[in-house]
């Protein structure tokens, strides 16, 4: 008999096909009555296929007494209750590294889009203002700009390397100093004060909740730009909107938000803000590789091999 697994949300067609082939897949997102479905099949579920947004709560895992593995499509596992998984002996896997390049590219794209006022200038052309008013205000160069990276991990290092090619000077903040040549700040607000761009690419969760707060944004200042490709929970969204509104922060490039897919109304009207619908890893190539890892981790687990990318 095929192992039974729970799929939390729609996945890429090749992922759904591969999982359907190997397992009996119960699609939670298609159930009219989710509680009734869980009550019926819960005790037989041995695996969960989920993503970084949907995760797996302690409440859900607590109802799946035979659960062995949660295979996550995404590197960030802040929506999975890791403590609960550990206490139940449940293996959790994610999709690190395969997405570094494209997520870093999104961070670089947001730095370029904000510094060169790309979206506002696009609007300028579309609205005919080039003809009626002439050229828009000049933008800013990033050569020589100082960039502070909040979370110099796998993706953060990739961002640093790419921005180095553009002539940026890199600094970083994390809980620990690394054996690396970039300038280290043990205090986030101090780093924000010293840089032109602050890029968040740390994990979400309790230890980073709201750490880009009013004080940090004020330190970044009226000529500073905040880029978030991490999680919306990392910034205090009320403080961020206020700082942009008051002009105490210069600009922002945001791929992630506190209550996705909700985006504060005020941000939609600001031309110094570039918005993305959480598309850091959103290329066909990277998403395919992430999907392959979800399937491979599940396969290895159920054939008794060590999983490829466990969350440690
Ligand atoms: P990683 O390799 O684990 O790196 C995380 C970095 O964050 C480390 O340098 C770590 O350094 C730092 N960090 C952790 N906790 C911190 C804290 N409390 N305060 C300050 N720094 C902290 O992770 P990754 O693979 O680069 O991914 C990073 C995150 O990016 C993911 O967790 C996910 O949330 C996000 N992400 C977003 C997208 C998107 O589509 N926008 C795509 C992929 C990933 P220390 O341990 O020294 O503190
Ligand atoms: C995914 C992400 O889009 O990997 C992550 O942590 O945020 C993104 O790559 C997400 O996990 C899918 O919901």
Residue 43 belongs to a domain with what CATH number? Answer: 3.40.50.720
Mutate to test the pocket of ligand 1, among 51, 74, 150, 155 (most ligand atoms within 8 A of CB): 155
Report H helices in 58-172. Answer: 58-62, 82-87, 100-115, 118-126, 129-133, 154-165
Q: How many Å apart are CA 124 and CA 142, to the nearest integer?
A: 22
For the Cβ of 53 lying below 6 angstroms from any atom of ligand 2, the answer is: yes
CB atoms within 10 A of CB 142: 21
Distance 54 CA to ligand 2 centre (A): 10
Long-range residue pairs from 38-43, CB within 8 A, at least 24 positions apart, any chain: 38/63, 38/64, 39/63, 41/4, 41/6
Please indicate, yes or no, whether residues 215 and 112 belong to a single structural domain of this protein. yes
* Domain annotation covers residue 310: no
Please indicate, yes or no, whether residues 39 and 176 belong to a single structural domain of this protein. no
Torsion of CA 229, 232, 236, 238, to 10 degrees: 110
For the Cβ of 80 lying below 6 angstroms from any atom of ligand 1, the answer is: no
Please indicate, yes or no, whether residues 21 and 45 belong to a single structural domain of this protein. yes
Q: How many Å apart are CA 254 and CA 239, to the nearest integer?
A: 14
Mutate to test the pocket of ligand 1, among 160, 202, 276, 282 (most ligand atoms within 8 A of CB): 202
* Domain annotation covers residue 23: yes
Determine the structural domain holding residue 122 and report its residue range.
100-275
Please indicate, yes or no, whether residues 165 and 36 belong to a single structural domain of this protein. no
Residue with the smallest CA separation from ligand 1 atom 21 is: 174
Residues designated as active site: 231, 260, 278
Sheet containing 24-27, strands listed edge to edge, beginning at the edge strand earlier in sequence: 24-27, 4-7, 45-51, 69-73, 91-93
| Predicted TM-score of the model (pTM) | 0.98
Torsion of CA 54, 60, 65, 70, to 10 degrees: 10
Sheet containing 225-228, strands listed edge to edge, beginning at the edge strand earlier in sequence: 183-185, 169-173, 146-150, 197-200, 225-228, 251-254, 273-275
Please indicate, yes or no, whether residues 31 and 92 belong to a single structural domain of this protein. yes
For the Cβ of 232 lying below 6 angstroms from any atom of ligand 1, the answer is: no
Please indicate, yes or no, whether residues 104 and 35 belong to a single structural domain of this protein. no
* Domain annotation covers residue 167: yes
Average pLDDT of the residues of the chain: 98
For the Cβ of 257 lying below 6 angstroms from any atom of ligand 2, the answer is: no
Please indicate, yes or no, whether residues 131 and 176 belong to a single structural domain of this protein. yes
Provide the residue count of the chain.
312
For the Cβ of 74 lying below 6 angstroms from any atom of ligand 2, the answer is: yes
What backbone torsions phi and psi does residue 229 show, to the nearest 5 degrees?
-120, 20
* Domain annotation covers residue 234: yes
Please indicate, yes or no, whether residues 167 and 226 belong to a single structural domain of this protein. yes
* Domain annotation covers residue 76: yes
* Domain annotation covers residue 307: no
Report which bound ligand comes closest to the CA of 54.
2
Please indicate, yes or no, whether residues 151 and 44 belong to a single structural domain of this protein. no
Please indicate, yes or no, whether residues 241 and 143 belong to a single structural domain of this protein. yes
Burial classification of residue 155, based on how many CB atoms lie within 10 Å of its CB (0-12 exposed, 13-18 middle, 19 or more buried):
buried
Distance 136 CA to ligand 1 centre (A): 37
The pLDDT of residue 312: 82
* Domain annotation covers residue 308: no
Report which bound ligand comes closest to the CA of 255.
1
* Domain annotation covers residue 294: yes
Please indicate, yes or no, whether residues 61 and 154 belong to a single structural domain of this protein. no
> What are the Cα distances from residue 191, in Å, to 106, 142, 188, 235?
22, 18, 5, 15
Span 107-118, pLDDT tens digits = 999 999 999 999
Low-confidence ranges of the chain (pLDDT < 50): none
In the chain, how many domains are there?
2
Report H helices in the chain. Answer: 13-22, 34-41, 58-62, 82-87, 100-115, 118-126, 129-133, 154-165, 188-194, 214-220, 237-246, 265-268, 284-302
Report which bound ligand comes closest to the CA of 55.
2
Please indicate, yes or no, whether residues 134 and 270 belong to a single structural domain of this protein. yes
């Amino acid at each position: 008999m095929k192992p039974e697994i729970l799929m939390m949300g729609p996945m890429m067609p090749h992922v759904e096909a591969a999982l359907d082939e190997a397992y009996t897949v119960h699609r939670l997102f298609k159930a009219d009555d989710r509680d009734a479905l869980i009550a019926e099949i819960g005790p037989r579920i041995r695996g969960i296929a989920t993503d970084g947004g949907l995760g797996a709560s302690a409440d859900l895992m607590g109802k799946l007494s035979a659960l062995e593995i949660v295979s996550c499509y995404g590197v960030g596992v802040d929506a999975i209750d890791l403590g609960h998984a550990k206490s139940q002996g449940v293996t959790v896997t994610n999709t690190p590294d395969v997405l570094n390049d494209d997520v870093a590219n999104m961070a670089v794209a947001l730095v370029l889009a904000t510094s060169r006022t790309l979206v506002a200038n696009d609007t300028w052309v579309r609205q005919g203002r080039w003809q009626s008013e002439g050229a828009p205000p000049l933008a800013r160069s990033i050569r020589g700009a100082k960039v502070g990276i909040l979370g110099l991990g796998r993706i953060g290092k990739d961002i640093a390397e790419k921005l180095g090619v553009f002539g940026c000077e890199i600094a970083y903040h994390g809980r620990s100093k690394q054996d690396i040549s970039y300038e280290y700040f043990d205090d986030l607000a101090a780093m924000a004060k010293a840089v032109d761009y602050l890029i968040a690419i740390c994990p979400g969760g309790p230890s980073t909740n709201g750490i880009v707060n009013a004080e940090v944004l004020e330190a970044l200042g009226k000529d500073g730009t905040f880029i978030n490709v991490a999680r919306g929970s990392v910034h205090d969204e009320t403080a961020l909107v206020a700082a942009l509104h008051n002009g105490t922060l210069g600009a922002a490039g945001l791929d992630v938000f506190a209550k996705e897919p909700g985006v504060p109304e005020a941000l939609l009207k600001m031309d110094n803000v570039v918005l993305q619908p959480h598309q850091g890893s959103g290329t066909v190539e990277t998403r395919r590789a992430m999907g392959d890892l979800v399937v491979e981790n599940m396969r290895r687990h159920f054939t008794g091999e060590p999983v490829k990318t466990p969350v440690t």
